[in-house]
Amino acid sequence: MILTVTLNPAIDHTLSLSEPLVDGDVARTNEYQLQSGGKGINVSQYLRHLDIETTTTGLLGGTTGQFIRNELADQGLAHDFVDIEERTRLNTTVLAPDAEYKVNHEGPTVDDSAIDELVERLREHDPEVVVVGGSLPPGLDVDAIDRIAEGGPWETVVDVGGESLADLDAHYSLCKPNRVELEAATGMPVESLADCRAAAQALREQGFDRVVASLGADGALYVGEDAVLYAEPLEVDVVDTVGAGDAMLSGVLAAWHAGASPERTLSYGIAVSSRLVGVVGTAIEDLDDVPTLADRVTVVEDPD
């Protein structure tokens, strides 16, 4: 079972506008979505559509936290969150014809003792893999992630900011930085594919068994002891990029959990991400066509 952890979850509020935003004008729309958000939650949602057993956990508080619990229950997604005192945050994305705007709250202040309770929850579920994703709320630092990684016999996967990646001390089975995070974690240039490969190699040497770097429109890299691979992106009409990295990670995890080769693992990540960017928001009805999409992904060894 794969258990995902979101330490700073959110309600994702997505608005779609028919006209560009104009300073001083009131923009109006009836096209909006309210969805449970946060990297771990998103990953579990996609894993469920990929027929992987999963439970999501983390820290929730207030009426916004209860909204997330209710929505996950309605979706039938297994969850077991730790209660905190302050209200869970709200993140807003505005999709206008000329641009995409994002405003994220910092999140509630969390006492370090919440991590003790969270680790106990993880031990009760006895997962094979724990995925820690997203930002840290005020009051916590990267030591909280290390404590989760060292709290039990599970393999730990992280999808966190570059600065956090650089400061982690525990052992991790996999990390999934994007291009900006790869640069922040290593201090190395990431302009070319060769730059990204070198940075991913350097990051792996910092204590990560595997690095999957999502490069947006340039595809993705897989760097591990068993292989160094590059996957080209699929040609799709991009509607919304929110959650694309989470979708890629879920595809990678699903294939890896099933014992697939590194090549198939990377192609699955590309396939799930390609499906998500074609819809508005982070919700998706099914991922039945992912195996077929993965067959279309071009993966090359040892890219220059």
Q: What is the pLDDT of residue 282?
A: 66
CA-CA distance, 213 to 273, in Å (whole number)?
Answer: 13
In the predicted model, what is the mean pLDDT of residues 104-118?
Answer: 95
Question: Please, are residues 161 and 245 in contact by the beta-carbon 8 Å criterion?
Answer: no
Question: Please, are residues 70 and 275 in contact by the beta-carbon 8 Å criterion?
Answer: no
Residue 32, token pair as written in the block: 């909006």
The number of residues making up the chain comes to 304
Higher pLDDT, 197 or 303: 197
The 10s digit of each residue's pLDDT in 217-249 is 899 999 999 899 999 998 877 766 667 889 999
The 10s digit of each residue's pLDDT in 112-164 is 999 999 999 999 999 999 999 999 999 999 999 999 999 999 999 999 999 99
Whether 25 maps to a domain, the answer reads: no
- Tracing tokens 């956090």 back to the chain, one arrives at 164
Whether 24 maps to a domain, the answer reads: no
The 10s digit of each residue's pLDDT in 279-304 is 765 667 778 889 999 999 999 987 66
| Residue 100 confidence class, pLDDT cut points 50, 70, 90 | confident
- Asked if residue 9 has pLDDT above 90, the reply is yes
Residue 89, token pair as written in the block: 């945050």
CA 89 and chain centroid, separation:
17
- Asked if residue 79 has pLDDT above 90, the reply is yes
Q: What is the pLDDT of residue 70?
A: 97
CATH code for the domain in which residue 243 is found: 3.40.1190.20
Whether 73 maps to a domain, the answer reads: yes
Whether 23 maps to a domain, the answer reads: no
Question: Please, are residues 253 and 131 in contact by the beta-carbon 8 Å criterion?
Answer: yes
Q: What is the pLDDT of residue 216?
A: 87
Q: What is the pLDDT of residue 246?
A: 93
Q: What is the pLDDT of residue 276?
A: 75
Whether 59 maps to a domain, the answer reads: yes
Whether 96 maps to a domain, the answer reads: yes
- Asked if residue 169 has pLDDT above 70, the reply is yes
Backbone angles phi, psi at 283, to 5 degrees: -90, 150
Q: What is the DSSP letter of 186?
A: H
The domain tally of the chain equals 1
Q: Is 159 a catalytic site residue?
A: no
- Tracing tokens 């879920």 back to the chain, one arrives at 250
Residue 163, token pair as written in the block: 């600065």
Q: What is the pLDDT of residue 48?
A: 94
242: which residues sit within 8 A by CB, 6+ positions away?
A: 12, 14, 93, 102, 281, 282
Residue 9, token pair as written in the block: 């979850």
Q: What is the pLDDT of residue 137?
A: 96
Taking all residues of the chain, what is their mean pLDDT, rounded to a whole number?
Answer: 93
In the predicted model, what is the mean pLDDT of residues 191-201?
Answer: 95
Q: What is the pLDDT of residue 304?
A: 64
Whether 211 maps to a domain, the answer reads: yes
- Asked if residue 67 has pLDDT above 90, the reply is yes
The 10s digit of each residue's pLDDT in 17-31 is 999 999 999 999 998
Question: What is the span of the domain harbouring residue 96?
Answer: 2-18+31-301
Whether 26 maps to a domain, the answer reads: no
Q: What is the pLDDT of residue 2?
A: 98
Q: Which residues of 146-176 are buried (b: 16+ CB within 10 A; e: fewer)?
A: bbbbebeebbbbbbbbbebbeebebebbbbb
In the predicted model, what is the mean pLDDT of residues 81-106?
Answer: 93
**Of 23, 159, 246, 288, which one is the catalytic site residue?**
246
CA-CA distance, 10 to 92, in Å (whole number)?
Answer: 10
